[in-house]
Chains A and B, each alone.
Chain A
């Protein structure tokens, strides 16, 4: 009971800290390929742009057949929902994000906007090219915000972020050990809150949680163990539904949440370290090579002993929709059933989804898994 209480308090504290931002200028960002350390080294507060799920879809400003996350984001931007940001950094993640960058600048320009080019391959060429782009970002940030980014400040930011990453991974590793002390839905909420909260506050909260929870004995759980993967999720409603229906997400590879860098090596060339580490992190489907993402998923499947996979894709998300057949084939080889769901970033789980999730769990039961 006590851990539940702690968790609630921690979330409230974080929400408060997020509102204050420690008085630093807030800079919006969109994708986990951004080394936020560069912003932190510049004394800025990174703020991940994650609109509340809504049906406000910037109709008329973008074609209806565009990613609903992009449309919701633009809808919020146009109605002034991001006017508190001192700048935005959008990444070259996918067609949707590129067009978001165009429309945002055209319809509601932010004082500072930057598009960070991210390669689609992981090679020595791409690592050095990405480093060039990070250097350009750092220079632009220095110029616009009249700050200085040094090797030392970058390394310090890297170390603080490394602490967040290792604590988050420890917390995640507590998942799936039977009656998880933190439900996966709560974990996803926590991580997405963390992506907009001052680092020091978030680290303190994580430390406290890890200390309390690691001390608790492992429980027993009868829930069906699932792996969740896919594109950006529209909040944690789907995971809550799975939990309500007797399933348990024991591991996930999803955004926002668990698709972050594990570790960055502080060095004399921190921009190179960042370029290297960020390109080598768990891949999003936007990357060229689907095999590495799928083999990582297979590994987590085996490790987490998941019985089934839930594959979620936002509608019109080309990277994840085109990759779906790959994953389905790979899972068929492993004889792991997969449930494919599409969402519109409304944050609501319709009756159809409930039925499908429930039927999927019933199917796992029949399979005797």
Chain B
């Protein structure tokens, strides 16, 4: 056939993605919850993406795995960290990207890259899930709202209630007591988004952020956080149409640049 098709797969702590890449761009992709069996979800994700791309598995020349579960993908030819992959993916979508902010399920990262898309430095949150997707999930539950609605609703507030703790456990009880004090939920949401953003901002400031910034990972779907980041960085932030698949896209790009696997 002579088709030049490559794939990337990103097994994150909360969600997993696969991207099928042809010569002219993305042919298909899939996003699923990781759940308890990363190997199975890797398989399912891959099959779904292949089906959507209308590509047979045999036609894929090579596969790169990334993300937290990258070492558990038996059919991958190579594994590369999500740090390097997010940089690559973001650089592909927005070639002027010099800084990537990636907030995923359990990690937040700030990555700086050069004009070729290679990582020059990175910072990563520590042990706790403060200010990540998991954190937002817990807060959404405490605020009795859907995770997907947090962003939009927070934009309805004129100001945010300051949140002092970023520890998931402490912040949850703080949110609950703020609700009990009768604070508006939208304002609490906005406060949470501002707190998360300023945490990322501080992590980023240390790395000497350069223009342009691209925001990846599931949390980039939250417009409230995008807005708050733009205010802090005093510049617009690129958000891909599908921010969750940037890591898998980067992985596929690495697969493509390495060429077909040796068999």
A residues with a Cβ closer than 8 A to B are: 55-61, 64, 344, 346, 348, 350-352
Contacts and interface: CB of A to CB of B under 8 A. Distances in A.
A58 B199 CA distance: 10
B80 interface: no
A350 B164 contact: yes
Q: Which of B164, B174, B177, B203 has the most CB of A within 10 A?
A: B164
A57 B205 CA distance: 12
30 contacts: A55-B164, A55-B166, A55-B198, A56-B202, A57-B202, A59-B199, A59-B202, A59-B203, A60-B123, A60-B203, A60-B206, A60-B207, A61-B206, A64-B126, A344-B165, A346-B164, A346-B165, A348-B164, A350-B164, A350-B165, A350-B170, A350-B173, A350-B174, A350-B177, A351-B173, A351-B174, A351-B176, A351-B177, A352-B170, A352-B173
Interface residues of B, number: 18
Contacts of B176: 351
B42 interface: no
A56 B203 CA distance: 11
B192 interface: no
Given A55-B195, A59-B202, A352-B170, 18 more contacts: A55-B164, A55-B166, A57-B202, A58-B202, A59-B199, A59-B206, A60-B123, A60-B202, A64-B126, A346-B164, A346-B165, A348-B164, A350-B164, A350-B170, A350-B173, A350-B174, A351-B173, A351-B177
Interface in B180-235: 195, 198-199, 202-203, 205-207
B36 to A, nearest CB: 30
Interface of B: 123, 126, 164-166, 170, 173-174, 176-177, 195, 198-199, 202-203, 205-207
Nearest to A351: B177
Contacts of B164: 55, 346, 348, 350
Contacts of A348: 164
Contacts of B126: 64
A79 to B, nearest CB: 9
Contacts of A55: 164, 166, 195, 198
Contacts of B166: 55
Contacts of B205: 60
Nearest to B202: A59
B101 to A, nearest CB: 14
